[in-house]
Amino acid sequence: MNQTKNTILLAGLGLIGGSIALAVKKQFPDKRIIGVDISEEQLVAALKLGVIDESADSFIEGAKKASTIIIATPVAQTLLMLDELAQSGIKHQLLITDVGSTKQKVVRYADQVLPEHYHFIGGHPMAGSHKSGVAAAKEFLFENAFYILTPGRNAEKEAVDQIKKLLKATNAQFVEMTPEEHDGVTSVISHFPHIVAASLVHQTHHSEELYPLVKRFAAGGFRDITRIASSSPAMWRDILLHNKEKILDRFDEWKREIETIQTYVENEDAKKLFDYFKMAKDYRDGLPLRQKGAIPAFYDLYVDVPDHPGVISEITAILAEERISITNIRIIETREDINGILRISFQTDNDRKRAENCIESRAEYETFYAD
């Protein structure tokens, strides 16, 4: 058997798996990474980009050669892979982790089906991007992000320490918690906000018949606060199904919250309305500004620009000269005789700060954040 302690099997060659692989390869050049993916296109790209060192004919064939397995697939596929491992008959010790956004179902299943010499440690790197696929993978994607670990029943402290040592290459901040606690926290600050954003979009869509101009006016701020509704429908369908219990709790809480503010409005209670919005403002203003959370951050820079031909190409040329990559650029508002607002999105906060400095110094346009 060609097993070695320096061999890792990466199952799932997308943004998350690819970014972990790049970070590990940079920190531990002696590690050999075998990749497997249902997409031949992603597999070929991963080899070409150097994300993996070789490919495997199947998940189990790769597992036979590895001592560590990183499963970077949707939760439903992860469960199937755990089944395959349980039935594989692999005798050597395996250190296994995943990257799923829900943890209870996966960890419980791992505890149920895996033999004792397989150590499963649930994982959730709380960072991402608005791009997908292995070509978007970045070695610094998880830098300063929280990386949640939820050890399974058979995961000894030594196994947890081993996975931390390996994933330390991501420069993430590790937090250990139970699968139940993880799913509760993420249901509050990630899963339910996606439901709210999608519901606001649905409400707006349903209002078009009554108010034909609603779609036109729903640009700008409305489009910004509902950005996360543009996330993958398949992914969010699965997350809600796999975190059903916690999500149902959030629905009950939300109904009570809406009923509370509805009562204030019905009673025209000015003081309670003021206090309600004041408390929300104070809490929101106290949230960390430069820390990665469960929802991928938008590193946006807003630029006041004159409405004349060539202004966008001028700014993008400046950024290109400084080798600053942008992920998106959009004119939010341009009207005759006044400045327009150019919103430029970046991959990191550092890129945004560099862009701010060079634009203000070379183009003399005013820039600002909207945190």
Concatenating the DSSP letter of every residue in 246-304 gives HHHHHHHHHHHHHHHHHHHHHTT-HHHHHHHHHHHHHHHHTS-SS---SSPP-EEEEEE
Q: Give 10-residue mean pLDDT values along the chain (371 residues).
A: 77 95 95 95 94 95 96 95 96 95 96 95 86 87 92 92 96 95 96 96 94 84 85 91 96 97 98 97 85 68 74 84 82 50 79 85 66 54
Amino acid at 93: Q
| pLDDT number for residue 2 | 46
Beta-strand pair 299-305/32-36: unpaired
Q: What strand order describes the sheet that includes 32-36?
A: 54-55, 32-36, 7-11, 68-71, 94-98, 118-125, 146-151, 173-176
Can you identify the CATH homologous superfamily of domain 299-368?
Answer: ACT domain (3.30.70.260)
Structure tokens at 284: 């929101």
Residue 364: per-residue pLDDT? 65
User: Where exactly are the structural domains of the chain?
Assistant: 7-176, 182-285, 299-368
Report pLDDT for 236.
Answer: 92
pLDDT at 130: 65
Whether this prediction's pTM lies above 0.85 is answered by no
The pLDDT value recorded for residue 20 is 96
Q: Do domains 182-285 and 299-368 have the same CATH topology?
A: no
**CATH class of the domain whose range is 7-176:** alpha beta
Answer whether CATH 1.10.3660.10 is correct for domain 182-285: yes
CA–CA gap between residue 230 and residue 237 (Å, rounded): 13
